[in-house]
Amino acid sequence: MTERIAMAKAINLGLRRAMERDSKVMIMGEDVGPLGGVFRVTDSLQKDFGDSRVVDTPLAESGIIGTAIGLAYAGYRPVCEIQFDGFIFPAFDQITTQLAKARYRSGGRVKFPIVIRVPYGGGIGAVEHHSESPEALFAHTAGLRVMSPATPSDAFAMIQQAIASPDPILFFEPKARYWDKEDVDLQADDAALGLIPAPDGAVPGVAGLERARVLTSGTEVTIAAYGPTVKTALSAARVAGEEGRSIEVIDLRSISPLDIDTVATSVTKTGRLVVVHEAPTFFGAGAELAAAVTEKCFYSMQAPVLRVGGFHTPYPPANIEEEYLPSLDRVLDAVDATLAY
């Protein structure tokens, strides 16, 4: 059954399906119970699954993640909600010092299937600490996977993939896209969702978590984006196409690991790459992608990699955030700039 739904609802239904599939999946966070979360992503889940599986926690992000680590030791699959991106930093020590290293410390004998959901990014007119893009901090930390869906369909599938993964995952949800709608196949079987059925009926495995997706085919410029900026990249490709330019758009989907091969294949064809993300470009995910693609595609490239993103400043007040965020015009300027070489 295909239904036109928003991304927030798609994640809600993905969580529901994962909880129905495995009784060890549980949700925990601030206001995730009767309220359904600030963005209502967990709406009705506590009513349907009970308060032992959808747990309202104290306002203590470090305690949420620390408790989740203990639950994972006991065989559970916790899904933790961090209410806003800027609130994750009290849990930074638990995530990077404990969670990221725990499986390595055990020599791989103990799995830590913990998903940390983080509404992130700007564009909603929020106050300070509510519009951050801290994904590069976690992508830099070995032992963590970092993912970000750009569409409702991907959000529905990727949250289930993340929960099925044996590794801890930071699942960054672009809050400005929570209300974007598209048709989602809610009856897709596990194979269609990227899940590998287990022969004993246990929790399915997962494949292809890190795979990027080519959204539009082109020959002159590759634009790589993820999360909230994929929509902007597609708009840039459409406008450039109206001007006779051929743009290929790639949704990275995974930030750590990065699917370098898919991007490199595209750049070998187009000879040019523009990377777009909301986070500051300084030491950002785009810098890593630029370096890796340059190494692999040096002899095919006709211009240096250009990056469009946030500036190296704290996130600005809401009344000027549009000057900070990578806009359609800024992406088109980068396309023109790379074609000028």
* Residue 122, both tokens: 């700007």
**Is 130 marked active-site?**
yes
* CA angle at 290 for the pair 284 and 292, rounded to the nearest 5°: 110
What local confidence, expressed as pLDDT, does residue 204 receive? 61
Residue 54's SS3 state is strand
Q: Check: CB of residue 37 under 8 Å from CB of residue 29.
A: yes
Residues 6+ apart with CB under 8 A from 110: 73, 102, 103
DSSP string across 121-173 = -S-S---TTSS---HHHHHTSTT-EEE---SHHHHHHHHHHHHH-SS-EEEEE
What local confidence, expressed as pLDDT, does residue 202 receive? 54
Whole-angstrom CA distances from 65 to 53, 123, 140 are 16, 27, 19
Q: Which of 18, 332, 36, 9 is nearest to 153 (CA)?
A: 9
* Residue 9, both tokens: 């609802």
Catalytic residue among 130, 140, 277, 312: 130
What local confidence, expressed as pLDDT, does residue 198 receive? 65
What local confidence, expressed as pLDDT, does residue 242 receive? 96
Ordered mean pLDDT values, 10 residues apiece, the chain (341 residues): 94 97 96 97 98 97 97 96 96 97 91 96 94 97 97 96 95 97 92 74 64 96 98 98 96 96 98 98 97 97 98 95 96 97 91
For each of the domains in the chain, give its residue range(s) and CATH number, in order of start. 2-206 (3.40.50.970), 213-339 (3.40.50.920)
What local confidence, expressed as pLDDT, does residue 188 receive? 87
Q: Which of 55, 21, 64 is nearest to 35 (CA)?
A: 55
Beta-bridged to residue 147, according to DSSP, are: 171, 254
Torsion of CA 12, 321, 315, 294, to 10 degrees: 80
